[in-house]
Amino acid sequence: EYNIVRPKGYTVSYHANPEMEKHHFGQTHPMKPWRLTLTKSLVTSYGMPFAMDNYNTRPATYEELNSFHASDYLDYLGTAPPEDQPRDIDNPDKAGEVKFNLGGSDCPLFHGLFDYCSMSAGTSVDAARKICNGQSDIAIAWGGGLHHAKRSEASGFCYINDIVLGILQLLRCYPRVLYIDIDVHHGDGVEEAFFSTDRVMTVSFHKYHPDSFFPGTGGLDDNGPKSEHNPGAHHAINVPLNDGITDEQYSWLFESIIGKINEHFRPSAIALQCGADSLAGDRLGRFNLQVQGHGACVEYCKKLGIPMIIFGGGGYTPRNVARAWAHETSIAIGCQNKIPEEIPQHTPWREHFIHDTLFPTLEQILGEPRANRNTPKRLQEIVQHVHEQLRFVGH
């Protein structure tokens, strides 16, 4: 009814597995897979599926997971009993859980965990394959974006690093991949996975406060292990930020930094992690970003005209996550000016979208905005540092 049509000259694909949404990390855990249902509900009520290729994705196979993750880790992940289940009398020890960081409060062992992880990874791997074989120009995988998972370790709500799996697929057909991470947390798992290659450049924007904000890594000077024989040196870029950053500051930083990186590194594909916990009012985040400022990052990347995968990630206030990801889906399609700001009357769970609009104001979201602790001088210094790093990259 909004006359949303396929974009001219390029293809957008949407990759999701609705079974993922039914999983629960636990009553009070901040990660709510149900936010994907809310996102799909908005995307659908605006009529966006008509303008995209929609894929119901399969779970990733063991071999696909094994392209990054260690076998002993995957085997443990596949057999560890859920927390509330009495453990096998013959195997009562928790050694594996300690070793792989499973079963704590951040990374609980819940029912269907391995299926959930395989489905998330499946959406990202499928999205990457569609980009590789030229069937898609912008592939969307909101169920992925789990950037903290390590080769043999779960971390920060992430068990399988679907982004690394996706980038490994892209590297089969593209010489250079640029990874960009706008989640409020540092994208440490992806950064570490590609520390030793100059074919992947990683850039994370995040809140940085080593002793009080997870994961504590990602300082301005952390640019990858600097050794004579490491081609990956200088290919990790970190943008450490303080509480309360605004749309204007963030867009300026993003465009100054990504613009310069694009000139020097000349990526042949982009992997963009769109964690929505960088939005104002997030349960875990600390920034003052609005849906518009978050979406401006997607818009800027799209305008570079390079094949791109868009992943989800964090985001702990489900109504804000759904607004941002629906808006960003519309940017991918190029229909953002055709859809009304007001949430359509027929949207399932419309009552969750308090304020009835895609673009609530900071006052509506927060009441009193969070104090902005980012000075213009510091932001200038950050851009300056990044530009200096880039002298070591490309030509």
Give catalytic residue positions.
148
314 binds Zn ion (CB under 5 A): yes
Query: 143, 195, 167: which is closest to 67 by C-alpha?
Result: 167
The structure tokens 């613009």 sit at 259
Q: Pick between residue 39 and residue 204 the one whose CB is nearest to Ca ion.
A: 204
CA distances from 363 to 60, 140, 372 (A): 42, 30, 15
> Considering only CA atoms, which of 273, 283, 275, 181 is closest in space to residue 236?
181
284 binds ligand TV1 (CB under 6 A): yes
Binds Zn ion by CB under 5 A, chosen from 137, 162, 277, 282: 277
Closer Cβ to ligand TV1, 157 or 265, answer by number: 157
Residue 71 CB, shortest distance to ligand TV1, in Å, is 24
H-assigned helices in 266-375: 291-303, 318-333, 362-366
User: Which ranges of 200-288 does DSSP label H, i.e. alpha helix?
Assistant: 247-265
Q: Give the one residue of 105, 227, 337, 345 binding ligand TV1; rule: CB under 6 A.
A: 105
For ligand TV1, give the closer residue by CB, 186 or 323. Answer: 186
DSSP track, 111-177: TTHHHHHHHHHHHHHHHHHHHHTTS-SEEEETT---TT-BTTB-BTTBSS-HHHHHHHHHTTT-S-E
Q: Determine if 106 is a binding residue for ligand TV1 (CB under 6 A).
A: yes
Number of residues lying near Ca ion (CB under 5 A): 5
Closest-CA residue to 113 (of 91, 141, 80, 148): 80
Taking the least distance from each CB to Zn ion, the nearer of 106 and 153 is 106
Min separation Cβ 102 and ligand TV1, Å = 14
Among 21, 162, 181, 247, which residue sits at the site for Ca ion (rule: CB under 5 A)? 181
Q: Does residue 331 contact residue 295 with C-beta atoms inside 8 Å?
A: yes
Among residue numbers 301 through 330, which ones bind ligand TV1 (CB under 6 A)? 313-314
User: What residue 106 binds from ligand TV1, Ca ion, Zn ion, none (CB within 5 to 8 A, per partner kind)?
Assistant: ligand TV1
Tokens of 230: 């490491």
Residues of this chain that bind ligand TV1 (CB under 6 A)? 28-30, 105-106, 146-148, 156-158, 183, 185, 214, 275, 277, 284, 313-314
